[in-house]
Amino acid sequence: MKDGTMIRETATFVLEVCAALPYLTELSLVETNCTSEGEQGITGLEFLMELTSPLASPTREIERLSITNIKEHYSPDIGKLFASWKSLNFLRLGDADMSTGPYANHGKLDFPSYQPEILGFITVLPQSLQELYLEINGPGLFVDEDDEFDPIFELSFAIFYSLEKLHTCDIHAWISNIDGGLGSIPEKVVFYRRLPPSTYLVGIPSKEIWTSRMDRIYQGSDPKVAKSMQIMEGHFEGEDAEEVWLGGYTNKGTGDGGRRTNRRRKIIHALGGSTE
């Protein structure tokens, strides 16, 4: 993959590698800026169509898939491409740069308009899925108020009703902060975790849905982290998450000094980034 588009030759190469590894269970595709003369550019949708069909079940048994940038926005049509991956239990994706996309509104990321497409993408994913991590890429976009992220924050029940084995779902929004540009952690994040109920309701299957939300405005300030829990009734399968995100960590976002640095390092580590 390269910046701006997908390469048909990349899809061909990936499929050739997978063909040589018939028992491959994990596939990770990382975006690069490397190009060669004569390569054929294709859209993200075309790339995914070429890739997903040959690697679907029962031909292959891919369990974990990561793609840093699918060059498309999340939508039901994109989600359906993964529906036949019946062995998939871990999915991590990043979407196209939102800065010039349909959900850029006068320099702001239009979360209310994008939310139905994100939910539509999630609800058609395979029922085998247990962990889902989505990144929204809007490095040139911003929001004025924290509540503009609320439409993403309010998806927990719809997500866990649709995917009965899912126990973990994170949505990271990499958008510009008030200082301009990106920092070391996303500006807006929601962490959903499905846990067993602390009190069982006789004859009523239920789970605890824990939601941790992180909001950040300035690059140098503490992120604000809040958590909440709701009881959800319904049919569930598979294992639950081990714990609430970061052990139930919360923060008012007003700290400073050494303790603030330690908290930031803790969060960056939990997000899988470097603390250097």
The size of the chain, in residues, is 276
Instruction: Give the burial class of 18: count Cβ atoms within 10 A of its Cβ; 0-12 exposed, 13-18 middle, 19 or more buried.
Output: middle
Three-class SS state of 99: helix
Task: Give the relative orientation of helices 8-20 and 44-52 as an angle to the nearest 10 degrees.
Answer: 20
What are phi and psi for residue 229, nearest 5 degrees? Answer: -135, 140
Q: Identify any residues that bridge with 94 across adjacent strands, giving them in sequence order.
A: 135
Report how far residue 234's alpha carbon sits from residue 157's, in angstroms, rounded to the nearest whole number. 10
The string over 81-95, giving b where at least 16 C-beta atoms fall within 10 Å of a residue's C-beta and e elsewhere, is bbeebeebbbbbbbb
At 200 the pLDDT is 73
pLDDT lower than 70: segments of the chain: 1-5, 33-38, 202, 218-221, 254-264, 272-276
CA 223 to chain centre: 19
Using one digit for the tens of pLDDT, what is the confidence trace for 59-94?
Answer: 889 999 999 999 999 999 999 999 999 999 999 999
* Cα 107–Cα 112–Cα 113 angle in degrees, nearest 5: 80
Is there a cis peptide before residue 58, judged by omega within 30 degrees of 0? yes
At 223 the pLDDT is 87
For 21-28, which contacts have Cβ atoms below 8 Å and span 24 or more sequence positions? 22/60, 23/61, 24/60, 24/62, 25/61, 25/62, 25/63, 25/64, 25/87, 26/62, 26/63, 26/64, 26/65, 27/55, 27/62, 27/64, 27/65, 27/66, 28/64, 28/65, 28/66, 28/67
Report how far residue 184's alpha carbon sits from residue 274's, in angstroms, rounded to the nearest whole number. 8
pTM (two decimals): 0.91
Q: Are 177 and 187 in contact (CB under 8 A)?
A: yes
At 194 the pLDDT is 98
